Amino acid sequence: MSKPSAPKSRTSKPRAAKAAGKAPRPRTVRLAAPKGPPKVGFVSLGCPKALVDSERIITRLRSEGYALSQDYAGADVVVVNTCGFLDSAKQESLDAIGEAMAENGRVIVTGCFGVGADKDRIIDAHPGVLAVTGPHQYEQVVEAVHGAVAPPHDPFLDLVPPEGLHLTPRHYAYVKISEGCNNACSFCIIPDLRGRLVSRPAGDVMREAERLVAAGVKELLVISQDTSAYGLDIKYAESPWRGAPMKAKFLDLARALGSLGAWVRLHYVYPYPHVDDVIPLMSGTGLLPYLDIPFQHASPSVLKAMRRPGSQDKVLARIARWREAQPDLAVRSTFIVGFPGETEQDFEQLLDFVREAKLNRVGCFKYEAVTGARANELPGAVPEEVKEERWHRFMAAQQEVSRDVLATRIGRDIDVIIDEVDEEGAIGRSIWDAPEIDGSVYLNGDTTVAPGDIVRARVEHADEYDLWAERAG
């Protein structure tokens, strides 16, 4: 399992990987394990949805008495939760499996890479793996672990924390509200990997969120494949919470989560009309003025080829209305350049949109011909060198926007949640920054805070990605 990453430099500009939309680094469980019980090593790759899958698996294993190993050598078996969205992610998954096989030799593979032809690819590359399962197949993974090393005791005799076990720091946690997706975007194979939309009952989501907050979690990050479609598949069915029925509706869930006393951050929110109703909730509650909306492009012809709705003028008008209602709103998005058929004119439209929309945070991907994606059949493949050139131009344009936006924060007092502290000071995030994908706030020389603290600080400096501040008062 990988070594922990070094602390971020106080003077560098460490956001190239994040801005590029690269897959997150593998996560390694770092929990102390008692001697005696069988030990499981765990490597988690990919998106936060996969991370939640990993957390559910390790919670189940820990409840059965398994310990979690800090390294390959000390593990009786290693589970690798893979990502299969992009070819680059698949290769990263194969590399992680290979490393685990070389260091341990007893490896169980799960996740999005473990389905269809890719499952055969894993077995061909690493025929010694003990089992290969697909995404959110918790029972199959647990059964495979049982087959590799038997559980030590009756799971009903031992307890785990009521909030479960997590791979994130103690002060923030992801809350997955649904599985799958009903959209048919031509570049995406997620519906093939994870199936159609399956929403969790609202009461179950809220009870999980309550347990997390009670355990000391300060920030809840709401995730799914299509967050604003929550409840559509179950016709917004009611379920009990706090002695009353609660509908499985995006607006109702956002309002309830915002009442728990923690920061609540909304991810993967498609811009359906009812998203407008959520904006007023971002004042006076824990619901942060932050929307992660994957626009993907701005050219009508490219959006049509992507099988995505969208009109540049209408989107710009909506963003303007949102910011009028909530001036502090931060909008994060992702875009794809080099999509089949994308012309220079299409790309220039995208640049114009980015400059006019003044999005706070942006990730950009170069189009990859993912196996099984319908977009691969489209005419007008863009040469790799053109994709690369457009990616650099896009990032340069967004850096200018981001620098201007962050400059407006200078002199303001803001809330900062602390993520880490070392001998140089503290590193945290503002209400406008999600962990791992957005910027940081550096409190140089401030070592009196602890991870999870939320402090007030005055911004003194900004660059194109990060803020530097000192505690106010």
Neighbours of 52 (CB within 10 A): 24
Q: What is the pLDDT of residue 284?
A: 79
Q: What is the pLDDT of residues 266-306, one digit of tens each?
A: 999 988 889 999 999 998 789 999 999 999 999 999 999 99
Neighbours of 274 (CB within 10 A): 11
Which H or E run includes 336? strand 330-337
Say whether pLDDT at 171 is over 90: yes
What pLDDT was estimated at residue 172?
94
pLDDT mean over 101-125: 89
Q: What is the pLDDT of residues 227-241, one digit of tens each?
A: 999 999 999 998 888
Q: Are 230 and 199 in contact (CB under 8 A)?
A: yes
Domains of the chain listed by start with CATH number: 16-157 (3.40.50.12160), 172-407 (3.80.30.20), 413-471 (2.40.50.140)
Entry pTM: 0.72
To the nearest 10°, the Cα dihedral for 197, 202, 205, 211? -170
Tokens of 41: 């090593």
Please state the three-class secondary structure of 190-202 as a single string: HHHHHCCCEECCH
Q: pLDDT band at 13, cuts 50/70/90? A: very low
Cα distance between residue 111 and residue 429, in whole Å? 30
34-43, 161-170, 382-391: the lowest-pLDDT one: 161-170
Give the tens place of pLDDT for each residue, 305-317: 999 877 778 899 9
- Average of per-residue pLDDT across 448-471: 95
Percentage above 90 pLDDT, the chain: 59
Cα within 13 Å of Cα(73), Cβ side: 0
Q: What is the pLDDT of residue 163?
A: 66
* pLDDT value for 239: 87
Structure letter (DSSP) for residue 404: H
Do the Cβ atoms of 436 and 416 come closer than 8 Å?
A: no
**What residues form DSSP beta bridges with 362?**
333
Average pLDDT, the chain: 87
Separation between Cα atoms, residue 168 and residue 174, nearest integer Å: 8
For residues 57-81, average pLDDT: 89
pLDDT at 7 over 60: no
CA distance 305 to 127: 39
Between these two residues, 85 and 216, which has the higher pLDDT value? 216
- Are the C-beta atoms of 218 and 263 separated by less than 8 Å? yes
| Band of pLDDT at residue 148, cut at 50, 70 and 90 | confident
Residue 355 has pLDDT above 70, yes or no: yes
Query: What confidence score (pLDDT) does residue 146 get?
Result: 84
CA distance 370 to 364: 16
Q: State the pLDDT at residue 161.
A: 67
| pLDDT for residue 3 | 31
Residue 235's pLDDT is 92
Return the pLDDT at 17: 37
| pLDDT (mean) for 132-142 | 84
pLDDT at 106 exceeding the cut of 50: yes
- Label residue 165 by pLDDT band (50, 70, 90): low
Q: How far is CA 156 from the centre of its chain?
A: 32
Instruction: Give yes or no for a contact between 176 and 197, defined as CB atoms under 8 angstroms apart.
Output: no
Query: For position 158, what pLDDT does the model report?
Result: 54
**Residue of 340, 357, 254, 265 whose CA lies nearest to 302:** 340
Please, which residues have CB within 8 angstroms of residue 355's CB and are 6 or more apart in sequence?
397, 400, 401
At 42, the amino acid letter reads: F
